């Protein structure tokens, strides 16, 4: 007999026979506490999350997912779904419930002639980049190679290519989905179109996606990219230069800013290490010959402490921030969308960076706009088609004793920025304690339609371990 937590908050004991039947039906494996691989499977990127499922289905394919969903629905079990396990909220694992671990499903199959890729939900950005860049192709994804393709896509997905080519979901052709009923369906613009609309930004609320089909575009394999690092004392002129540059930039150019203490990068003088800095990161995906000239102003916002700029493989640039985002640290995020970076936003950010609660904390500004905002608010579940920038307050630390001071710092900075923000938030940047922002903040005008579709596809809210959209009554 194994005790499980239920969707209603209670417990249910399941006899050994049904559990043995589930194990026998799987091509993958069923892991229980104490089994080899159990702890690896349940471990997530955010070190603050330490949950112990009663059982884990480590799926080998869609058939295993169907078996696991049927088992969870039949017994009304609390159910969590893990793709890459990178999400800040840590909803991919649950205490006492059933966890579906998709991380072994990593296939990336590229059709270079049709410029399409079929990707399984356990694939990371690094897996995707490795396969697509072999053919000089890609699609817009994120900026950290250890991010999971599934979670990134289901929330929207943006990065260095998005100003030219839109969000990840804007380049999604079709998905295979296991519904709460256990049924396997396909969704696209012409098949189950309402479901296809919902999964493009609606997260894991509507089913378990077992395959994604993306449109691909020529890219690289080399791009012009790099970092220009300025002392924080020059922040005012850097912000002014950045605002002007971003406003005039073509869609092929994307620039982000990071405010933090300087890591010991080899191109920075030792005396800069550990000092507060403003980092301008950029990627040019246009015609290579024009990039050097167009990027030159990024080095003239002030007097750089150091710079590392040049042609590099796009797949390598995608790993540039990996050392700062390794799994296992304790992480807490707060995020806002912005139409403009005003002087007040600049002042608030710069003041906060002088009071960093740990050496790994930062605030970053991601540039949006361009092609992202040429799609209608109601065309996908992701609604934030007016945002030009996103600011993510990223606290990161190692010792649990520092939880309070780090979280308080993030919340204080978030609160100070609130009057200057749109009220919108990217769902993938929301921590676990922000359920009150799901309706108005994450989905806004699209929430009512999402709640109605949730009632259609998951009326019992089996898929509740996410930034949850509750079924419309």
Query: Is domain 108-219 annotated with CATH 2.60.450.10?
Result: no
Specify the CATH number of the domain 222-435. 3.40.462.20
What's the CA gap between 235 and 279, in Å, rounded? 10
Give the model's pLDDT for residue 105: 98
Beta-strand pair 79-82/98-101:
parallel
Residue pair 88/132 in contact by the 8 Å Cβ criterion: no
CA distances from 432 to 85, 151, 152, 301, 392 (A): 14, 15, 17, 38, 15
In CATH terms, the fold of domain 2-101 is 3.30.43
User: How does DSSP assign 207-225, residue by residue?
Assistant: -EEEEEEEE-EE--SEEEE
Give the model's pLDDT for residue 473: 85
> Which residues make up the CATH 3.40.462.20 domain(s) of the chain?
222-435
Q: Per residue in 227-274, pLDDT tens?
A: 999 999 999 999 999 999 999 999 999 999 999 999 999 999 999 999
> Which residues make up the CATH 3.30.43.10 domain(s) of the chain?
2-101
Q: In the structure encoding, which two tokens stand for residue 199, read together?
A: 């999964």
Per the DSSP assignment, residues forming a β-bridge with 252 are: none
Give the model's pLDDT for residue 179: 98
> Which residues make up the CATH 3.30.465.10 domain(s) of the chain?
108-219
Positions in the chain short of pLDDT 70: none
What's the CA gap between 270 and 274, in Å, rounded? 9
Q: What is the largest CA-CA distance in the chain?
A: 70
Residue with tokens 């799901």: 438
Contacting residues for 116 by C-beta, under 8 A, at least 6 apart: 110, 173, 213, 214, 215, 216
């Amino acid at each position: 007999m194994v005790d499980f937590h239920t969707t209603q908050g209670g417990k249910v004991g399941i006899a050994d026979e049904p559990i043995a039947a589930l194990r026998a039906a799987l091509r993958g494996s069923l892991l229980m506490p104490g089994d080899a691989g159990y702890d690896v499977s349940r471990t997530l990127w955010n070190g603050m999350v330490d949950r112990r499922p009663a059982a884990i289905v480590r799926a080998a394919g869609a058939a295993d997912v169907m078996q696991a969903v049927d088992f969870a629905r039949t017994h009304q079990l609390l159910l969590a779904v893990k793709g890459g396990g990178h999400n800040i909220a840590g909803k991919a694992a649950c205490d006492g419930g059933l966890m579906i671990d998709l991380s072994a499903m990593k296939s990336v199959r590229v059709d270079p002639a049709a410029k399409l890729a079929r990707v399984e939900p356990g694939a990371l950005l690094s897996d995707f980049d490795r396969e697509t860049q072999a053919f000089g192709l890609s699609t817009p994804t994120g900026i950290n190679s250890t991010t999971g393709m599934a979670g990134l896509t289901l929330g929207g997905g943006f990065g260095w290519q998005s100003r030219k080519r839109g969000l990840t979901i804007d380049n999604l052709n079709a998905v295979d989905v296991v519904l709460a009923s256990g049924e396997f369906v396909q969704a696209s613009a012409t098949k189950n179109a309402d479901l296809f609309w919902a999964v493009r930004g609606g997260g894991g609320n509507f089913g378990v996606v077992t395959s994604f089909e993306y449109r691909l575009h020529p890219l690289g394999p080399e791009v012009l990219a790099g970092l220009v690092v300025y002392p924080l004392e020059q922040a005012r002129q850097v912000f002014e230069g950045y605002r002007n540059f971003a406003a005039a930039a073509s869609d092929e150019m994307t620039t982000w800013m990071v405010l933090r203490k300087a890591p010991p990068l080899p191109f920075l003088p030792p005396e800069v290490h550990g000092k507060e800095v403003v980092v301008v990161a950029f990627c040019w995906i246009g015609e290579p010959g024009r990039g050097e000239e167009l990027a030159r102003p990024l080095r003239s916002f002030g007097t750089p402490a150091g710079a590392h700029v040049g042609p590099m493989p796009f797949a390598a640039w995608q790993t540039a921030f990996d050392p700062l985002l390794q799994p296992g640290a304790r992480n807490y995020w707060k995020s806002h969308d912005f139409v403009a970076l005003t002087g007040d936003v600049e002042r608030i950010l710069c003041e906060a960076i002088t009071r960093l609660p740990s050496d790994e904390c930062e605030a970053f500004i991601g540039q949006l706009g361009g092609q992202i905002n040429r799609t209608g608010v109601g065309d996908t579940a992701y609604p934030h088609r007016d945002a030009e920038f996103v600011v993510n307050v990223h606290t990161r630390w190692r010792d649990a004793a520092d939880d309070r001071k780090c979280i308080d710092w993030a919340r204080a900075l978030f609160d100070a920025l609130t009057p200057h923000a749109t009220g919108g938030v990217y769902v993938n940047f929301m921590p676990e304690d922000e359920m009150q922002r799901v309706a108005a903040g994450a989905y806004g005008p699209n929430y009512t339609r999402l709640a109605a579709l949730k009632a259609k596809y998951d009326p019992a809210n089996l898929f509740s371990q996410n930034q949850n959209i509750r079924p419309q009554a």
